Amino acid sequence: MSIELSKGALATIMQGGDYIEPIVQVLSIKRMNSGTGQPDKDKFRALLSDGQCTVSFAMMTAPVYARAGENGLSKFSIIKIVRFITSVINNTEGKDSRVLLILDLTVLKDGNELGEKIGNPVSYSQLNVGPSTNYHQSSANAIQTAGSPSKKPRLSVPFNANCGTSSSRAVYAISSLSPFHNKWIIRAKVINKSDIRKWENSKGVGQLFSFEIADESSEIKCTAFKELVDQFYDVVQVDKIYYISKCQIKIASKQFNTVKNDYEIYLTPDTVIEECFMCDLPQIPTNFNFVEIRRIADLHANELIDVIGVAKSTSDLQIFTAKSSGREIKKRDVQLVDQSKTVVTLTLWGGQAENFNGNGNPVISLKNAKIHEFLGGKSLSTISSTQMRINPETKEAFLLKAW
């Protein structure tokens, strides 16, 4: 059975439009070494064709590439791009160019079986298209050439859409950020936020807080220090979407950062954080690898794990003063149980301890809970990077509620 390419799809996408699951051919693919010594951090650059035009600025991460199977993507393979976004970057001429970031794909035909290029496509850069091209008209043309009504473009909000009170703007993907480019705006959802932490030492006193944000491409940690804590702490709220710009990108300090990103964001006095009303980022990946509570006894102390369970019982809030710093500390213990009928003590700290309500035995899911060991027994506690959700709307939570 022959497979028809989605003619016109790449032109639509590279103009900022959207297209439902375009079918394209891989004409070449090159691995780009991250230099970290970790293969899963590498990226792949592909030359794609839709039968009409070719696009050379198509990127995917190693985990996405791995979905092609153990043989990878061979030349002339035909793939369906299940999910993607486009990101605007500055090219060598100082102008904006668009990069196609593939987030999910399915291989429809292996290139070794096909063994040839389909059609006579020309480079997208040679086509007579540009910023003045009418987006709706180009999408309509693509409908006529795509060949299948089920694969016609979806005229939905592009990645550089006008959202909320902000004017229309080009938005960068988190995965495209680097220390070598600082003129960017990202649009992302806050998925976690720490309490304010204060310190006092020979150099003086200070405070900081951090929060984690995510878009369809990746996630990243953001940190604010000193007076910026007072400026932004109440502005940033979990599950809200913001435009963020004028920050500093640095290499991530893995000692204090568990987010899977090589970089992290530091807020500056010039930072702009603006809530994006009327925006939605529904496909942000939150990948949990839940561990059964009975398995925690076999794991090592200080490991970070994902766990979900029912709050069987909850202690009262405890407040005490740290001897070393004189800081007031708040904690609360929760007994978690799951279908393995094993109970583990979870210790909540700070605001999470103060605000937690165990009435009704809620389901708690945790990402990056830390394992502690004392006298041979294992327990869990939250840390600054722990993401905690109460009664999340997930399959695992529904199963626990029905248990």
285-335 pLDDT, tens digit per residue, is 566 889 999 999 999 999 999 999 999 999 999 999 887 777 788 999 999
pLDDT at site 160: 39
DSSP letters for 148-177: -GGGPPP----TT---TTSPP---B-GGG-
pLDDT at site 150: 35
How far apart CA 10 and CA 81 sit, in angstroms, is 11
pLDDT in tens, 347-375: 999 888 999 999 999 999 998 899 999 98
DSSP 133: S
List the one residue out of 9, 27, 149 whose CA is nearest residue 81.
9
DSSP 300: P
Structure tokens at 10: 């790449």
How far apart CA 389 and CA 368 sit, in angstroms, is 12
User: How many degrees, rounded to 5, is the angle at CA 373 between CA 367 and CA 375?
Assistant: 160
Q: Where are the alpha helices (DSSP H) in 147-272?
A: 227-232
For the chain, the domains span: 9-126, 171-275, 293-402
Q: Is the pLDDT of residue 87 over 50?
A: yes
List the one residue out of 9, 13, 105, 89 whose CA is nearest residue 49.
9
Same fold across 9-126 and 171-275? yes
- Three-class DSSP category at 17: coil
Q: Is the pLDDT of residue 279 over 90?
A: no
Q: What are the C-alpha distances in Å from 105 to residues 13, 56, 64, 283, 311?
A: 16, 17, 7, 15, 39
Structure tokens at 174: 């988190």
What CATH fold (topology level) applies to the domain 293-402?
A: OB fold (Dihydrolipoamide Acetyltransferase, E2P) (2.40.50)
pLDDT in tens, 179-217: 888 788 999 999 889 888 888 877 888 999 999 999 888
How far apart CA 280 and CA 179 sit, in angstroms, is 27
pLDDT at site 284: 65
| Count of CA atoms in the C-beta half-sphere (13 A) of 88 | 19
How far apart CA 316 and CA 330 sit, in angstroms, is 10
DSSP strand E in 218-276: where? 219-225, 241-245, 248-251, 263-266, 272-275
Mean pLDDT in residue range 229-250: 93
Mean pLDDT in residue range 91-114: 79
pLDDT at site 242: 92
pLDDT at site 89: 64
What CATH fold (topology level) applies to the domain 171-275?
A: OB fold (Dihydrolipoamide Acetyltransferase, E2P) (2.40.50)
pLDDT at site 288: 81
Structure tokens at 33: 């070494």
3-state SS of the chain: helix, strand, coil percent to 5?
Answer: 15, 40, 45
Residue with more model confidence, 202 or 104: 104
List the one residue out of 194, 287, 272, 193 whose CA is nearest residue 240.
193
What's the mean per-residue pLDDT of the chain? 82
Cα dihedral sign, 54-88-153-102: positive
CATH for 9-126, options being 2.40.50.140, 3.40.50.150, 2.30.40.10, 3.30.70.3150: 2.40.50.140
Q: What is the pTM of this model?
A: 0.56
> How buried is residue 263: exposed, middle or buried, by Cβ count under 10 Å (0-12/13-18/19+)?
middle
pLDDT range class, residue 268, cuts 50, 70, 90: very high
Q: Is the pLDDT of residue 144 over 80?
A: no
| Count of CA atoms in the C-beta half-sphere (13 A) of 164 | 13
Structure tokens at 350: 């700070």
| Contact of 157 with 26, CB cutoff 8 Å | no
Mean pLDDT in residue range 252-276: 88
